Structure 1
Amino acid sequence: SVFFIAFMPYALILLLYKSGLLSDLQMPKRKERLLPLLAVNLCVLTGFMFLFFINSGDVLKAVYLIYMVGLPGLSLITMFYKVSFHSSYVTMFSLTYMIIFGKWAIFTLLLIPLVGWSRVRLKRHTISQVLIGIILSGTVSLTVFSLNGYSFYRYFPPGLMWNIFHIITEHLKYSFPGKSINMLFFFMMFALVLYLNMLIFSEGSYLKKGETCFLKRNICLFR
């Protein structure tokens, strides 16, 4: 799945840039956005179908469905009004991280204003363009998770956690400025270590009475 949402899209965009069809990798010219955006959306659709072919886990399908719904929306809007994809991606990452690990992962929300500020500071986007990316991604992410019944905590295998981490970091590392992806990866690995060692995250365990549970699947669109 990393191949379809990270390697292929950026390889195609780089190819378009090298061939002269794109004058800038940031795609500031509106008329140059259609072809690369169509290519990226096609890659995501192919990857989503591939997950069903290999019978992937429901959580990964839900995360991928966010791409399936959110990316076409962002693509359509950006054909008429430039939207911050960086802010959109980091919002999806933060909400995915929190919906899986719970309230102690709330610190990831700090990445949203930091990335948004960096885009405005670099004069790549206006505040409104950043806010549109955040609002659209946040709405789609929360809606997809809710429709799939993800609202409270339940144990997930460490292998599945690693797959989610790998997909998100591989995709976002192209969006984060400079070497900030190293900090992101550090926090994610640190969280995984805590996940493996904390008793409340072990299979069959429950939180104490009165504590807030994090993630629990009740229904799922994929079954």
Structure 2
Amino acid sequence: MPRGEARWAWWLSDGGEPRNWMLVLAPLLGWHADGWAGVGWGLFAAVFTAVLPTLLLRFGERLRYWGDRHVRRRQDRIVAAPGVVGSVIAGTALLYRLKAPAAVSALVTAMLAVLLALLVITFFWKVSVHCAVASGATAILTGVFGPWMLVLTPLVALIGWSRIRLRCHTTGQVIVGTLVGAAVSTPVFDLFR
């Protein structure tokens, strides 16, 4: 792959990481639901959906439980998943217990549902978490802010392209991740919102 193309692919892949979506999406939905207090709730949610999972993945990488923070090997993802899912479950429980705005709690619940769906698939096949979170986030944003948020769809496609170009995923794994993210997050978010 040409050097410039590789640079773009890495930039899109790193920028489109699931944690980055959650670091932006949770406070944004919190703001939409309850102004600055909602931003605080969104940041609280981001601790459990982005910050703690990232720390866990880096810790596992440092101890060589898996190769890198993207956890590329399917078998390694099964090892890493309980910690990430546990963090999201804890965050979800706390958000409901502390009576966070419904949109923030629903977002984290939807993310948990997507993670569980991806985990089931991962027992048999590798699937793109990057694309699942990007498409799920885009679907939720479209539901909250209207169809104009579909302008993010090319970004989801570019993240998928980057994962394929970096040989992290096949085209099929990107497509399935994209479909699962949108198909699972939308009804769960709508149900709990």
Determine the structure 1 residue equivalent to 2:158: 114
- 1:132 deviates by 0.8
Give the superposed CA RMSD: 1.5
- 1:137 deviates by 0.9
Determine the structure 2 residue equivalent to 1:182: none
Matched, 1:25 2:69: yes
Determine the structure 2 residue equivalent to 1:199: none
Structure with higher Rg: it is 1
* Bigger shift: residues 30-39 or 69-78: 30-39
Q: Which has the higher helix share?
A: 2
CA contact (8 A) 2:126 2:173 kept: yes
Matched, 1:125 2:169: yes
What is the CA–CA distance in structure 1 between the aligned matches of 2:89 and 2:186, rounded to whole Å?
A: 20
Paired amino acid for 1:27? V
What residue ranges of structure 2 are gaps of 5+ in the alignment? 1-44
Determine the structure 1 residue equivalent to 2:145: 101
Determine the structure 1 residue equivalent to 2:179: 135
What is the CA–CA distance in structure 2 between the aligned matches of 1:27 and 1:116, rounded to whole Å?
A: 16
What residue ranges of structure 1 are gaps of 5+ in the alignment? 149-219
CA 1:8–1:103: 2 relative to 1, 3 Å: same
Per the normalisation by structure 2, the TM-score is: 0.72
CA contact (8 A) 1:85 1:133 kept: yes
Matched, 1:89 2:143: no
- 1:39 deviates by 0.4
- 1:111 deviates by 1.4
What is the CA–CA distance in structure 1 between the aligned matches of 2:53 and 2:161, rounded to whole Å?
A: 25
What SS does structure 1 have at the residue aligned with 2:66? coil
Q: How many residues align?
A: 149
RCO higher in structure (CA 8 A, sep ≥6): 2
CA contact (8 A) 1:70 1:136 kept: yes
- 1:100 deviates by 1.3
What is the CA–CA distance in structure 2 between the aligned matches of 1:49 and 1:146, rounded to whole Å?
A: 18
